[in-house]
Every structure is written in C-alpha cells, then in structure tokens.
Amino acid sequence: MPAKNRILVTGGAGFIGSHLIDRLLEKENKVVVFDNLSSGKMEFVEQHLKNPDFSFVKGDLLNPEAIERVCKDADMVYHVAANPDVKLGASDTKVHLDQNILATYNLLEAMRKGNAKRIAFTSTSTIYGEASIMPTPENYGPLIPISLYGASKLACEALITSYSHTFDMQAWIFRFANIVGPRSTHGITVDFIKKLKENPLKLEILGDGKQEKSYLHVSECVNAILFAIEKSKQEVNIFNIGSEDTISATGIGKVIVEEMGISNVEFTYTGGSRGWKGDVPRMRLDIEKLKSMGWKPAYTSEKSIRDTTKALISEN
C-alpha cells in the first residue's frame, strides 16, 4: 500500500480549516492540525480525535520551534491560520503584522528547514483593494489594498511566491470571496443573527446597506481548493474562488429575517458607502480560470447565505 500523504493544516480548528480537514481525512491522508485555538474550537475537530490518521497540536505560529517540530517532512502544508478580522486593523495596527505576516514567515522558515516543499495559502479578495474591473481577474493590478488585513495577506502572498522561487517550493494561492457556512464564527451573517436574537425588532446595518459582495458556501470553497491543487502544476498557482453573483448587505438582512421567521424588523443604517474603514463596498471575483479547468460553483450568494443561516440557527 502506498504511504499516506502527511498533511499539515495550520488553523485547522477554525471555520474553513475544519471543513478542509473533514474532506482531507475522507481521502488517504494523515492530517496534523496546528492551531492555537484563538478563534478555532476543539468542538470543530473532536469528531476526528479517535482517528489514527488525525492528530491535533495546540501551538502558536509565533513560536518558531513549535511550528518547526510539526513541519518536518510534511508532504503538503495548508496554511489557513490567520487573524481574519478585517475591521480590527483600524484599531490594532499590529495584529495582522504578527498573526499574518510574521506567522507566515515563521511557517515558511520551518518548511525550508524541514524540507517541506508544497504550500497552499488562503488569501483574500481584499488584496485587490477597490478594483476598477468587476469581476476582478487574478491578473488585475496594481494591487492597492485599503485595509491592513488586505495589506498583510498581500505581503504573505509575496513571501510565499518568493520562497517558492528561492527554495524550490510549490505554492497554491487562493483568493477567496466571503466564505460562509456551518461553523462560521465571524462575518455579516453571524453578526446579523446575533443582533436579531438580541433584538428581533431592529437590525442595524453598517454603511448604507448597498454594499454588493460575493458569498460562497464553505463546502464549495473546499471543493475548489482540492480541485485546483489536483489540476495545476506550476511553481506558483493563483486562483480566485467565489460565487458568480453578489448580494447586498440589506439583501442579506432580508434573507436572515425570513429564515429566522421574524417580521416587522426595522432596518437602520449607520450611513456611508462602506461599513467601516477598510471595507470594500463592491466585490466580485472573476472565476473564469477555475471554470475553464472544470470547476464552477453550484450555489448563488443568496443560497449560500440562506443555507448558512439555517445551519447557524440549528447549531445554537
């Protein structure tokens, strides 16, 4: 029997990471999750604890020795760990520098020293900034992020591509639209459900509610990642992953209100075209590159939001 692939997933106890490991363990893989549980949860991975092909290491990417121990000879590293809170950069200017850039540097160094050669990275649409071309293709430029989060993820991409070239590594960079689904712990759907549970009569929406963005279900996101890795063989492989349409912030509010079975909710707006400093009001990614290879999303943004709302209501 061929040896199983040894796969390391940083951030594997988080929202997207835990769905990824569910899928990786369905195949012939040995999976190690490395996570500091800052936003990840043991309950997202505990169904695998008895699986001999799964192990969980509680550790921090800011501790180089800890990440070096698990990186050695990994056949593949999925680098999912990050601080994904876009808003936070406006009040804490160091968090994304540490949790995203420095953490990624520590991981790449551990890979270099441990002879791990393949990395997949979860990047973001925010690296494009306020793109003038919509939907935005992978070769859009110049890249002018407007949030410290977007800047940090762009810096991570640059580190990854230059390590790939310098140290003969291979990289897959995935620029996600907004990802939603069961186990979501942050983002607009989570926020709106929380607000409406606290007060079912009123929903405060940040900005003017007209922000139009693409939302993709996490199951489709994981499918796209695994599909792209299987089908692409360049030294650096960059893919947008998103849905083919958008939904507005107000539209999301309406879907959630419907799914929660409440009525007569007053929508109020904080005003302005963006929800917060660093918010990109319009986002849709061009996914022709993945489509031309044979992958396309089945769900609309609205369907993904609707399914997520149902799942989150039943989770709590």
**What residue ranges bind ligand NAD (CB under 6 A)?**
10-11, 13-17, 35-40, 60-62, 80-84, 99, 103, 122, 124, 176, 178-179, 185, 187
Min dist. Cβ of residue 264 to ligand NAD (A): 30
* Spatial contact of 195 and 257, defined as CB atoms under 8 Å apart: no
- For ligand NAD, give the closer residue by CB, 186 or 262: 186
- For ligand NAD, give the closer residue by CB, 163 or 176: 176
**CA neighbours closer than 13 Å in the CB half-sphere of residue 207:** 19
What are residue 104's phi and psi, to 5 degrees? -70, -40
- For ligand NAD, give the closer residue by CB, 85 or 200: 85
Min dist. Cβ of residue 153 to ligand NAD (A): 6
Helix (H) or strand (E) holding 213: strand 212-213
Min dist. Cβ of residue 62 to ligand NAD (A): 5
Alpha helices in the chain (DSSP H): 15-26, 64-71, 95-96, 103-114, 148-166, 188-198, 218-231, 249-260, 288-293, 301-315
Min dist. Cβ of residue 55 to ligand NAD (A): 15
CB contact set of 160 (below 8 Å; sequence gap of 6+): 104, 108, 119, 121, 171, 173, 236
CB contact set of 61 (below 8 Å; sequence gap of 6+): 10, 34, 36, 67, 81, 99, 102, 103, 104, 106, 107
Min dist. Cβ of residue 122 to ligand NAD (A): 4
Min dist. Cβ of residue 226 to ligand NAD (A): 15
d(CA 139, CA 224): 19
Min dist. Cβ of residue 308 to ligand NAD (A): 11
- For ligand NAD, give the closer residue by CB, 81 or 252: 81
* Spatial contact of 308 and 180, defined as CB atoms under 8 Å apart: yes
Nearest to 82 by CA among 186, 163, 172, 167: 186
d(CA 214, CA 244): 7
- For ligand NAD, give the closer residue by CB, 59 or 209: 59
3-state secondary structure of 33: strand
Min dist. Cβ of residue 262 to ligand NAD (A): 25
**CA neighbours closer than 13 Å in the CB half-sphere of residue 86:** 21
d(CA 257, CA 60): 38
